[in-house]
Structure 1
Amino acid sequence: MATKKMILDLDIGVDDALALAYAIADPQIDLIGIVASYGNNLLEQTAKNSLQLLELLGQDVPVFKGLSHSSTTDHFNVMQVSKEIHGSNGIGDISLSEPRHQVQEKDGVDFIIEAAHQYSKDLIIVPTGPLTNLAAALHRDPQISQLIGNITLMGGALTVEGNVSDVAEANINQDAEAANEVFTSPLPITMVGLDVTLRTLLTKKETQQWRNLGTRAGIAYADLTDFYIDAYYRLGIDKRGCAIHDPLAVGVAIDPSFVTTLALPMKVITNKHNYARTIGDKTRLNEPHPNVKVAINVNQERFVSVFMNHLTNLLANH
């Protein structure tokens, strides 16, 4: 089985932690690095979360720091709702030992560029936070838009409302200008947005399976996911369970048949009215081969089944 080279661009909150475990567990994936982003927490914290979770899962994958704030600001403050959903530390307030490894000295944006040149079409990048790092990489080296095999991102909403405004999804809303640069570039993109991720739910019935494993990783992952499920219930986001947004992006990057897509030239609105809305670009509607595929339906039963198999097998051994 041919393995695919993957970079995860994570702002590690709870669903990013689940996405990381999914990528590690899938035999088709060679996870070559993680680029940390701001988003669910500050950059320092999300980088630390990546290191801690990798060690919990027995993995030695390099972690790089991306940019610490959006392309249009000079700092970043964590939103209160992010703390309520993901915990003050981004991973459900669970306590993990201090990481033994350090973040790499190389800049995360440069790492993306070097990997694009090294692996070209064999490289998949899965951003599950803001698109600031990817846009910065395009700025530094526009050639990478012709090299990278696929970008499968968690972000946006085409057929449903947003989750931070009527039209905007959180990741895109963090840096709509960067997102628009990525969407309107030649990069081959699959957008896994709220249209499909809100349909993929996890409940405490699933997390109990991890708890029952009795392993350190099984209990930690059950604890952090239960925090997320409780937050969804308490905040009235969904009382049936939590959406596993970011893992679905990883799943689709590996197996696109999990979703049905619509090929559409996309843009992101950057003016104040409708800020961060992801929508078709009417000036490019007649382009014969749009660079973006938007996921609009998902086989949630098959996806959740594969996700649970992957994670349970991984967590059983750590």
Structure 2
Amino acid sequence: MSTLRPFFIDTDTASDDAVALVMAFARDDINIVGIGVVAGNVPLSSALQNALYTRELCGRTDVPVFAGADRPLIYELGTAQHVHGNDGMGDIGLPLTGRTPNDGHAVDALFEASNEYAGELTLVTLGPLTNIALAIQRDPSIADRISRVVLMGAAADHIGNVNPVAEFNMWVDPHAVQIVLESGLPLEFVGWDVSRRDAVIVPEEANRLRSIGTPRAEFTIDIQRIVAEYCARDTKLAGFDMPDPIAMAYAIDPSIATQTRHLNLVAECAEGPTRGMVVMDLLGFTGREPNAVVV
């Protein structure tokens, strides 16, 4: 067994995803065996360029990046470009063109990683779950080979950021969410409620981080420009929150969680005001067995 922990990261790369990637790239105890990209925050082509740019900035062109699904299983793609900027990276003029992903599809890459690192692999999902659902549909036994799945998604308080009750990643492709919830994968959800409570970067903190003065420090703050405006205007937070970085932090070190619960989760797939809500049976009313850990 390798001394490095193998991670496969699935992302719809925009501003907070990029910070999560920077965090993972910086670890010397993690072997990032692949990055799958999915449409979500931005269209697939932009999400790919954002992942490739971040990989290059961090000097980690050794890590393969693969294109995945360009749309949800059933619904048309809805993006969050009003949150992250048209390019997903704050529209600050970064050169986000011209880079080429590795050959092959993200789903195939995930299968290869699950076979090579069977029983060891940690899967971290930072975006919609389309790629993961496609993998399960192809071969449900993949669930037996993945040691841990850390997902940024849902909200234990059922407060939404795309409708009254749904978190964006779950809303984009709720059918994929339900497939994943029924898969038997060892799921650990880090929700938007955790980000709002524990991962808000106030302006003073942002300035302090940027003042570190390295290219990565400046990058991680500068690309939050549109997000900061969105949070001030729409979510009324004291700064900008970082959902994907806190999920990555938990994936790297689960001991940071002060509370976890084993719950039964179900996704609302129907179009309407509750589309994408992940219903968490907090009090055990349904009698169904837990299918996820909720941080």
Structure 2 length as normaliser, TM-score? 0.90
Spell out, residue by residue over 1:231-267, the C-alpha distance to the aligned partner (whole angstroms, 9 max, x if none).
Answer: 311x231341111100111111122222211101211
- Deviation of 1:4 (Å): 1.3
In 1, Cα distance between the equivalents of 2:192 and 2:96? 34
2:8 matches 1:7:
yes
Contact 2:140 / 2:183 at 8 angstroms: preserved in 1? no
Instruction: Please state how far the C-alpha of 1:49 moved relative to its aligned partner.
Output: 0.5
* 1:153 maps to 2:154: no
Amino acid at match of 1:268: A
Residues 95-123 of structure 1 show CA distances to partners (whole Å, capped at 9, x for unaligned) of 33456752011110111111111112211
The alignment status of 1:121 with 2:119, answered yes or no, reads yes
Which is richer in helix?
1
The CA RMSD measured in Å over matched residues stands at 2.1
In 2, Cα distance between the equivalents of 1:97 and 1:226? 16
Letter in 1 for 2:150: T
Match of 1:206 in 2: 205
Whether the 8 Å contact between 1:160 and 1:194 is mirrored in structure 2 is no
Q: Is the 8 A contact 2:143 2:184 kept in 1?
A: yes
Residues in 1 aligned to 2:262 and 2:159: alpha-carbon distance in whole angstroms? 20
How many residues align? The count is: 288
SS of 2:245's equivalent in the other structure is: helix
- What secondary structure sits across from 1:263 in the alignment? strand
Alignment of structure 1 residues 30-45 onto 2, 5 Å? 30-45=31-46
Q: Which moved more, 1:91-100 or 1:13-22?
A: 91-100
Q: CA deviation at 1:212?
A: 2.1
Q: How far does residue 88 in structure 1 lie from its aligned partner after superposition?
A: 1.0
Residue 24 of structure 1 deviates from its aligned partner by 1.3
Name the counterpart of 1:64: 66
Q: Which runs of 5+ in 2 are unaligned?
A: none
1:7 counterpart SS class: strand
Check conservation: 1:94, 1:220, Cα contact below 8 A: no
- Mapped partners of 1:57, 1:100: distance in 2: 17
TM-score calculated relative to the size of structure 1: 0.84
- 1:74-223 aligned at under 5 Å gives the runs 76-78=77-79, 82-97=80-95, 101-199=99-197, 200-223=199-222
Q: Calculate percent identity across the aligned residue pairs.
A: 33
Paired with 1:194 and 1:213, the residues of 2 have a C-alpha distance of 28
Say yes or no: does 1:244 pair with 2:242.
yes
The answer for the alignment partner of 1:316 in structure 2 is none
State yes or no: 1:225 paired with 2:187.
Answer: no
Aligned to 1:313: none
Question: In structure 2, what is the Cα distance between the partners aligned to 1:98 and 1:247?
Answer: 21
Q: Is 1:27 aligned to 2:25, yes or no?
A: no
Match of 1:262 in 2: 261
Tell me the alpha carbon deviations over residues 264-308 of structure 1, each in whole angstroms, 9 at most, x when there is no partner: 121112223532221246797353xx331011xxxxxxxxxxxxx
| Distance change >3 Å, CA 10–CA 165, structure 1 → 2 | same
| Aligned partners of 2:129 and 2:177 also within 8 Å | yes
Q: Match of 1:91, as an amino acid?
A: M
Once structures 1 and 2 are overlaid, which stretch shifts more, 250-259 or 170-179? 250-259
Distance in 2 (CA, whole Å) between partners of 1:37 and 1:153 is 14
Alpha-carbon distance between aligned partners in 2 of 1:142 and 1:227, rounded to the nearest angstrom = 39
Letter of the structure 2 residue corresponding to residue 48 of structure 1: Q
Unaligned runs of 5+ in 1: 296-318
